[in-house]
Amino acid sequence: MRYLIRRVIHLVVLLLGVSLLSFMLSHLAPGSFLDEIKLNPRFEPRTVDAMRVRFGLDQPLPSRYLHWLGSAIKGDLGFSFAYNSAVAPLLGRRIGNTLILAGSATLLAWALALPIGLWIASRRGTWPDRILGAGTSALLAIPDITLSLGLLILAVRTGLFPAGGMFSARFADLSVFGKARDLAAHLFLPCLALVLSSLPMLVRHVRASVAEVLEAPFVRTALAHGIPRRRLLWKHVLPAASNPLISLFGLSVGTLLSGSLLVEVIMSWPGLGLLVLEAILARDFYLVIGAVMVSTFFLLGGNLISDLLLYAADPRIRKE
C-alpha cells in the first residue's frame, strides 16, 4: 500500500509540473483567441475588452494559473473560449473515441509482438530472423505520417475500407451486429497505422529480452530434460523475461496515445487529435492545456499500471 501511495503522489506532482509548464508555454505563444475577434469588424473594441475581463485574460499569469488550478480541482479544467463551455465536457466526448483507437492498437500490437518476438528469438541468426529484422528496420524508417497517408490513399483508391470518420451515415439504422461491423470497418485503418508504427519497436524489445534469457543455464537444463520448446518458451522463458517488457508496456501506452492524435487528424477519427488541432488553430489555450493534461494522465497512468504489474510479478521489488 505504501508503494501505491508513493506512486500516486509522484503522479500528482508530475501532473502539477506539466500543468505549470504548459501554462507558461501557452502564455509565451504569440497571439490569443481575442486577437482573431479583433479582426472581425462586427465586434467593437469595448466588447473585446469586456470579453478579456470576463475570461480573466487581464489578470497576471500566476492569478490565472491559480484560477485554472481551482477549476481543474473542481473537474472543469478551465473554460473554452471557442466553445463557450467548460473544457472537461468537451474532452469527455472525445476521450472515449481516442481510447477505443489507442486501446485496440495496444492490444493488437502486443498480441502480435509477443509471439513474433518469441519466435525470432528462438531462431537467432537464421534467415527468418534476418528477414524480420530487415522488415522491422524498414517500418521504423517510415515516418508515421507517411504510413498513415499511404493507408488513406489505399482506402480511397480501392474502396475496401472507409476513408475517414468513425461511423457511416446510416449507423443509427443498423442492427447491433451491423453497428459493430461498421465501427470495426472504420477502426481498421487507423488501428493498422498505429500497430505498424509501434510493432517494430515492440518486436525488437521482446526479441532482445527473450534472447538474453535463452542464454541462461536453466534453459539448457530444461531442454536436456526433454521439455518441449514451445512450452519452455511460453511458460518459463517469457515469464523470466517479463520485467523489461512490463516496463515497456507503460511506455507503449503513452506512445500509442500520442501517435493516435496524428492518425486521428489524418483519418478524421473524432478523437482528441481533431479537437486539439481545432483548439490550436483557434488559440483556445485552456482547451489545449486540458488535452495535454489528459494525454499526460494516460501516459503516467500507463506507467503506474506497469509499475504495479512489475511490483506484483517481481518479489525482489516487494522486498525492497
Residues 6+ apart with CB under 8 A from 179: 171
Write the pLDDT tens digit of every residue in 126-149: 887 788 888 888 887 888 788 888
Query: CA 57, 62, 63 angle in degrees (round to 5)?
Result: 55
Write the pLDDT tens digit of every residue in 45-96: 777 677 777 777 677 778 888 888 888 888 788 788 778 778 888 888 888 8
Least confident stretch, 7-11, 168-172, 187-191: 168-172
Phi/psi of residue 168, nearest 5 degrees: -85, 170
pLDDT given for residue 319 in this prediction: 62
Closest CA to 78 of 292, 245, 233: 292
pLDDT given for residue 52 in this prediction: 73
Phi/psi of residue 80, nearest 5 degrees: -85, 120
CB 242 within 8 A of CB 315: no
Alpha helices in 61-126 (DSSP H): 61-74, 87-121
Q: Domains plus CATH for the chain?
A: 97-270 (1.10.3720.10)
> Whole-model pTM?
0.79
Write the pLDDT tens digit of every residue in 286-300: 888 888 888 888 888
